[in-house]
Amino acid sequence: MKKTKYLWIACFVALGISSCINDDSALATDEIQAINITSSDVRDTLYVGYLDQLSIIPTVTRGTSADTDGLVYQWEIGDEPGSKPENYIIIGKEVSLQTIIKNEISTSPYLLRLTVTDTKNDNLKASKIWEVYVQSTFIDGIAVASTLDDRTSDFSLIMNKDITVNYNKEDKIYHNILKSATGSACDRLLSQLTFSVFSGTFTSTSTENEIWAVTGDGALYRYNTKDFSLDGTSLEGDAILTYTGGNPKFSHTFVGHSTLFAVSDKATYSLLPGSANTFGWHDATTSQYKINNNVVIASPTGDNYNVFWLDSNTGHIVALNYSMGTTIAYDDALAAKENVFDPKDLSNYTAIAGGFSEDGKSPDFLLKNKTTGEYSIYTLTSYQQAVWNNDWTEIIIPEQIPSAERRIDIPHAGKTLLDKAVSVFFAQNQAILYIATEDGVYGINFATDTPEIYATPKYTPAHGEKITKAKLFVQGAYSCYTTSWPERDELPYNSNAIVIATQSETYNGKIVVIPMKQIGTGNLDSSKAKVYDGFGKILDFCATGY
C-alpha cells in the first residue's frame, strides 16, 4: 500500500515539473517576436548618382507591435562591387538612411545592408539587402575651381537645363567635389582649366571626358569628369608626360585643330585626344614660337587655318595651317593689306584678346600698342578652300589664305574701359567685343570701321559684388568637338551667353550665367541671369561635356 502511494506521488511530481517546463517555453515564444524590415516604396535594386544622396525610410516592426524600443540599427555598404565584398563600411545608425554615396562608379552593384538588433531579446538580429548601382552624376555643366585658403582648391559643378544637355531637373550645384569624395581638396591652386575629350580612337563612342588643370606653381593635372578623380599629374609618373624635359612649368592649355596643347617654360607639348592621352617629347615645331600673353584664337575642328596667335619672338601673327595627318605646320607670313596693317610687323604690340567673331571663321585680335597704350582690333580674312570643277581637273576658285583685312582703332572711351578691364573677350558670329570691369560688363560694336562704345554697362552685379573674371559660354562638347566624335545636341546658350565670376568677400564667390539678346547689339538679358553662390575665391571655370 505504501509503495502504491509513493508511486502516485512520484507521478504527480513528474507531471508538475513537466507542466512548468511547457509553460515557460510557451511564455518565451509569446514574448520574443520576429523583427520585420520592409521598404514598400523602395525597390531592392537601386540606382544612385556618385556623390548624390541616397534616402531609404524602411518600416521596422517587432512582430505586429509598434513598439521599437531597444532596436539598434546599422547601415553598411560593401567597399567594392559584387556579391561578396571583403569589407562593409558603416554609413548610418538610424532607422532611416540619409547618406551621400561616395563609392566608385561601377557597372556592377554594391551590396547595401541594414542590420537590426533587438537588445531586449538576446540581441536577436534581422537584416535586409539592397543592390546599389553607382552611376556618374556629372554631365554637362560649368566646372568651377575655387579656394577657401589660398593654398588648396577644389572643384564644384553647376548644372541646369540651359547649360546641361538632357537635364530637366532643378538647378544643382555640387560643391567641393574632391573633398566630399576623398576628404581632401587639391593641395595646389587649380588656376587654369581646359575641357577635353579622350576617345581612345577617332571613331570610338566610349570616351573619357577630362579637365586639364594648370596649377598656380606650374604643375599640370588631369581629372576625369565622370567623378573628378585625379587621373595624372606632371609632377610624378608618366600618365601625362612621357619625358619631363627638366620639370617644365606650365602656363596654360588649349584645344585647337583637333589637338590639345600644353605650353610650358621649357617647350610646348601637343597630343591628339582622338588617339592619345599622354604628351610625349615636346612639339619642336610649335615650340619655336612664344605665344604672346597666352592669347590664342582656336577652333577645335580639323579645318585648315583655325589656330592663331601673336608670336612674341618675331612679332608675326602665326597660323596653324596643316589639316591632314599628325604633323603640325605653321604659316607665319600672312599677307599684309596696304595702308591697313602687316601681320608680320606687330612686334610693338601685346595681345589682349582674340576670337572668331563676325562670321565665326574670321580671326580677330585686340592688340595694345606698347608705346602709346592705345588699343586696336585687327581682323583677318577667313580661310577658303580651293574650288575645283566637277571632274577635279581644274581649280575654279583658288585657295584663299587668311590675310590682313581691317584695323579698327578704339577711341578714348573704349580705352578707359579696357585699361581697367579684368576680362576681355569676343562674341562669336557677331562683331562685339565684351569688356568686363570690376563694376560691370560693357561692349564695343566694331561692325563698321568707326566702333560704337557701349559705355553704359550691359550688366551690373545686383548687390555690389566685384567682377573678377568673365568668359563667353561655349558648351563643353563644342569647345573640343570634331566630326570624328559622336555629335552632341547643341544648347541655345552655346556661344549665346556669358559667364562671370564675382566676389563680395575674399572667400565668397558667385557664378552668374547671363544670356544674350538682340544678337549684334551686345545686349544681355539680365532678367534671365542665373546666380549661383557658395563658392570660395573663384580661380577659374570652364564648361564640361559628356
Q: Give the count of alpha carbons within 13 A of 197, CB side only.
A: 30
Q: Give the count of alpha carbons within 13 A of 283, CB side only.
A: 23
Residue 424 identity:
V
Q: For the chain, how are helix, strand and coil distributed in percent, rounded to 5?
A: 10, 45, 45
Which pLDDT score is estimated for 92?
96
Query: pLDDT band for position 272 (50/70/90)?
Result: confident
The pTM score is 0.87
**Residue-range domain boundaries for the chain:** 35-135, 141-544
User: pLDDT at residue 126 above 80?
Assistant: yes
The vertex-184 CA angle with 180 and 186, nearest 5°, equals: 110
The percentage of the chain sitting over the pLDDT mark of 90, rounded to a whole number, equals: 71
Q: Tell me, which fold does domain 35-135 have in CATH?
A: Immunoglobulin-like (2.60.40)
Residue 403, CA distances (Å) to 85, 198, 286, 363, 385 in order: 65, 33, 21, 10, 14
User: pLDDT at residue 301 above 90?
Assistant: no
Query: Which of 1-15, 55-69, 318-332 bottoms out in mean pLDDT, i.e. has the lowest?
Result: 1-15
Which pLDDT score is estimated for 297?
96
| Mean pLDDT, residues 394-418 taken together | 95
- Specify which residues 514 forms β-bridges with: 498
Q: Which phi-psi region, left, alpha or beta, contains residue 346 (left: φ > 0; alpha: ψ -120 to 50)?
A: alpha
Query: 79-86: which pairs have CB atoms within 8 A and are 24 or more residues apart?
Result: 79/103, 80/110, 81/106, 81/108, 81/109, 81/110, 82/108, 82/111, 83/111, 85/110, 85/111
| Mean pLDDT, residues 389-418 taken together | 94
Query: pLDDT band for position 10 (50/70/90)?
Result: very low
In which residue are the cell numbers 538679358 written?
Answer: 525
| Mean pLDDT, residues 482-495 taken together | 76
Residue 528, CA distances (Å) to 474, 517, 544 in order: 18, 10, 22
More confident position, 246 or 158: 158
Query: pLDDT band for position 194 (50/70/90)?
Result: very high
| Mean pLDDT, residues 71-94 taken together | 95
Which pLDDT score is estimated for 74?
97
Q: Helix, strand or coil for residue 302? A: coil
- Rounded Cα–Cα distance for residues 294 and 209 (Å): 24
Pairing outcome for strands 307-311 and 441-445: unpaired
- Rounded Cα–Cα distance for residues 512 and 529 (Å): 7
544 and 141 Cβ atoms separated by less than 8 Å: yes
Which pLDDT score is estimated for 124?
93
- Calculate Rg over the CA atoms of the chain: 33
| Spacing of C-alpha 10 from chain mean position | 87
Which pLDDT score is estimated for 23?
39
In which residue are the cell numbers 572711351 written?
Answer: 413
46 and 130 Cβ atoms separated by less than 8 Å: yes
Which of 137, 142, 227 lies closest to 475, judged by CA?
142
Which pLDDT score is estimated for 75?
97
Buried b (16+ CB within 10 A) or exposed e, 354-390: bbbbbeebbbbbbbbeeeeeebbbbbbbbbeeeeeee
The CATH-assigned architecture of domain 141-544 is 7 Propeller (2.130)
User: pLDDT at residue 8 above 60?
Assistant: no
Q: Counting runs of H as helices and runs of E as strands, what totals does the chain give?
A: 5, 38
Q: Helix, strand or coil for residue 434? A: strand
pLDDT tens column, 315-364: 999 999 865 555 678 999 999 999 999 999 999 999 999 999 888 889 99
Query: pLDDT band for position 202 (50/70/90)?
Result: very low
| Mean pLDDT, residues 357-380 taken together | 95
Which pLDDT score is estimated for 244?
66
- Rounded Cα–Cα distance for residues 223 and 219 (Å): 13
Q: Helix, strand or coil for residue 438? A: coil
The DSSP output letter for 83 is S
